[in-house]
A and B are shown apart, each in its own frame.
Chain A
Amino acid sequence: MRALIIFLGFVVAICAKKDFHGDQVLHIQANSEEQILLLKELHNLQHLKLDIWREPLKPALPVDIHVPFESLQAVRAFLEFNGIHYSVMIDDVQVLLNKEKEHMALSRSKERNNKSYDYGAYHTLEEINMWMDNLVADHPSLVSKIQIGLSFEGRPLYVLKFSTGGVKRPAIWLDTGIHAREWITPAVGIWTAKKIASDYGKDPSLTSILNTMDIFFEIVTNPDGYDFTHKSNRMWRKTRSINPGSSCIGVDPNRNWQIGFGGPGTSTYPCDETYCGPFAHSESEVRSIADFILFHGNFKAMITIHSYSQMLMFPNGYTSTPVPNKEELHTLAKSAVDALASVYGTTYTYGDMYTTIYPASGTTSDWAYDNGIKYSFTFELRDTGHYGFLLPAEQIIPTAEETWLALMKLMEHARDNPY
């Protein structure tokens, strides 16, 4: 027993030197060969445990020595007695090491792969961009990254393309983050993109979808706004474009589409949150998507994701007139909402936008439908107002998990009902 204690004490002593509290690094300026010799002698005193960073060579060159806390008094006394000039370069080595460690941990989170990416937390734009590149790197035969344009402030607008080949296969469009403050949506978007990439080849239904269709997913549809919510105003909704003649910034990207533009549920006042903009597709964030989809010409489904209210809606928003396939969309929405509820019991209401939430003109969903995309849906994710836009991070993954089942219903329907 005693031997064990002594041994442990020995181990502790060895490990003890991992702590550099109070250690200093002295920057020494010798002014003569004599002083250089003295410093060399100092180095030979083993019990001081000095760690030389810069050797004493000649008087013109400075000498840097890491002095352990226990030896500090002795070394300083020696230097002062011999009139050797010095200054304290680092006055606490441990503090510096701690800072380094912190910084490294931070950079490690910006790693070269997504193994440490926290799907249950909200991330900055930089972190999301890095994650996107890592996703492509991890699944190179399935995922690629396209740039469809630039935001008002010049940020690239990235879209992830999930494709197993073919040329302009029938496609599904997904977007999150069009309204900056709806943080849960890009967070769910990231989890969902990872899910699509991971489940291909494993889940039969998803695999069959991707064997015949492509998925295009824009995660941060409004990067200027998203960045602004992190740094300045958590409640920002619109784009960050300058409105000539007004001090107010931004246009509501979900009122800026060419469908019933300027109609009910929009404002013509630049300071309002539902400002539709000076003209349809004035916002590059909107125009880039519209151009991309029209140029592609073969989109079959459009799913745009917002928060909050727990609703699944289909067109129309700009008029109370129902769309021709209203019954089909109603039935499909019901099956999606039931599937969603089966995970955690979260209840959604569903219906056409005009009567379910409010009249709204110039929306993504209505525009897509008007351009021939029959399966056009808008999600409003959790919650119903308890936290609203400030949904706690621990709800990210549960929200993503339940929403996934609804998304699958919609995508399966598009796969099974080609047109």
Chain B
Amino acid sequence: MSPFKWVVLGLLPLINGFALLKDHLQSFEMTRTAMDSENLHNELPHSTLHLEEAEAALEKSMELNPDLRMEKLNPANYRATRAAQVAVHYLNYKQGSLFCHFSRRKIENATLEEIPGVGNKYFLTFIEDETPSKHATGVYTAEILFRHTITKMAPEVNSTYYGCVKNISEDENTFYVRMRKQHQLVAGKYIPDGHGNIPTEMEPFWHLGYTASSYIMWKESNESTLFNMETVLSFQQLETENDSLAFDYVVLLHEMVSQEVTQWTMQVCWSPFQGVKVLHYSQSSENIQFPGDAKAIMSPTSLDK
């Protein structure tokens, strides 16, 4: 097959993906394209995407280069899975929502483009979820670029997805107002605990830890990793001088390829207006004990209404 045919083949799934978009423009709140630059951290465009514009953008990024190496991947191949996971982590952090998260859906099509001197780029389309729920949202298509540089660089992600339903921001505001009313700083441990249990009162702190961890997981990912957050080992609310809530978090991250579970500390800020921000993070050498039969605990045991 000539390189041209490979290129077209590679494009096809993306074009099909955009066909889905057209149908969904009516049924969902917002359709956004996440840009791959960190400068747009909080300025996600809220405009709806037009099919023709998207196709034009795609074609522009595509060059008929004889050196182009495109390979169709089996959707069950771990390379596609790892790239998809990176897209999910990136989007969870960028969207910065407390209560609405992306999850990794089954991959429909996967193509790998090896760009000499640059790195590997993955093009993925996902099988649509029949029952989107209030707290979960999904990705339609994703492009993930892993640069092959000497110094570690975070993967770059470009994708189309559908956003969270409006009620989420009400939930976030309610939680924010409640937290601002507390008379003492909130702290807790083990969310979930060894039995996978998360007390209802502690759920928002789990969500915050999950969104914040997505930042670490995105930044630390490469083609040989697949990260998931296992638990929030501990969190401690901090005093702030501004409107944000701030916390010290210690989380356990599981990396599938090495099977290592490592401890990470991070300082996290959140408000409904700013979203979730990780101020700094590091891998922790201190080991917090996590016995399987220990129970989740929070102080105070419940938030004042």
A residues touching B (Cβ–Cβ < 8 Å)? 121-122, 124, 183, 229-235, 237, 252, 272-274, 309, 347, 349-351, 355-358, 384-393, 395
Contacts and interface: CB of A to CB of B under 8 A. Distances in A.
B257 A347 contact: no
A229 B74 contact: no
Contact of B289 (A233, A273, A347, A349): A233
A357 B292 contact: no
Interface majority SS (helix, strand, loop, mixed), chain B: loop
Interface stretch (B156-164, B165-173, B191-199, B272-280): B191-199
Contacts, number: 95
A388 B254 contact: yes
Contacts of A347: 106
A393 to B, nearest CB: 5
Interface in B289-305: 289-293
Given A274-B258, A349-B81, A356-B77, A392 B195 contact: yes
B103 interface: yes
14 contacts: A229-B292, A231-B292, A234-B290, A235-B252, A356-B76, A357-B78, A358-B256, A386-B228, A387-B192, A387-B196, A389-B254, A390-B193, A390-B194, A390-B196
B290 A393 contact: no
B194 A234 contact: yes
Please provide the 10 A-B residue pairs with the shortest distance between their CB atoms, ordered closest to farther.
Answer: A385-B228, A392-B196, A273-B259, A349-B76, A234-B292, A235-B261, A390-B196, A230-B292, A234-B194, A229-B292
B128 interface: no
A309 B257 CA distance: 12
Nearest to A390: B196
B36 interface: no
A334 to B, nearest CB: 11
Given A232-B291, A234-B292, A355-B77, A273 B258 contact: yes
A273 B260 contact: yes
B290 A233 contact: yes
Interface footprint category on B = 20 to 34
Interface string B209-250: 000000000000000000011110000000000000000000
Contacts of A357: 78, 256
B289 A385 contact: no
B81 A229 contact: no
A318 B184 CA distance: 55
A235 B256 CA distance: 13
Given A390-B230, A392-B197, A393-B196, A384 B104 contact: yes
A291 B64 CA distance: 59
Given A233-B291, A234-B290, A388-B229, 14 more contacts: A124-B293, A233-B292, A235-B252, A235-B254, A273-B261, A347-B106, A349-B75, A351-B76, A355-B77, A356-B77, A357-B256, A384-B104, A389-B254, A393-B196
A332 to B, nearest CB: 15
B296 to A, nearest CB: 11
B256 A309 contact: yes
A272 B103 CA distance: 29
B122 to A, nearest CB: 15
A231 B291 contact: yes
B78 A234 contact: no
Nearest to B254: A388
B266 to A, nearest CB: 19
Given A234-B290, A235-B290, A356-B76, A390 B257 contact: no
Contact of A358 (B78, B106, B196, B291): B78
B233 to A, nearest CB: 10
Nearest to B130: A345
Contacts of B78: 355-358
Contacts of B85: 385
A314 to B, nearest CB: 12
Contacts of B76: 349-351, 355-356
Contacts of B293: 124, 230-231
A410 B293 CA distance: 35
B53 to A, nearest CB: 32
Contacts of A358: 78, 256-257
Contact of A351 (B74, B104, B228, B260): B74
A385 B106 CA distance: 13
A252 B85 CA distance: 25
Contacts of B256: 309, 357-358
Nearest to B136: A386
B291 A392 contact: no
Contacts of B229: 388
Contacts of B198: 392
B258 A122 contact: no
A223 to B, nearest CB: 14
Contact of A393 (B75, B195, B231, B260): B195
Nearest to B79: A355
Contact of A272 (B77, B228, B252, B260): B260
Nearest to A267: B258
B192 A392 contact: yes
A229 B197 contact: no
A231 to B, nearest CB: 6
Given A122-B195, A235-B252, A309-B256, A388 B230 contact: yes
Contacts of A272: 258, 260
Contacts of A121: 195
Contacts of A122: 194-195
Contacts of A233: 289-292
Contacts of B230: 235, 388-390
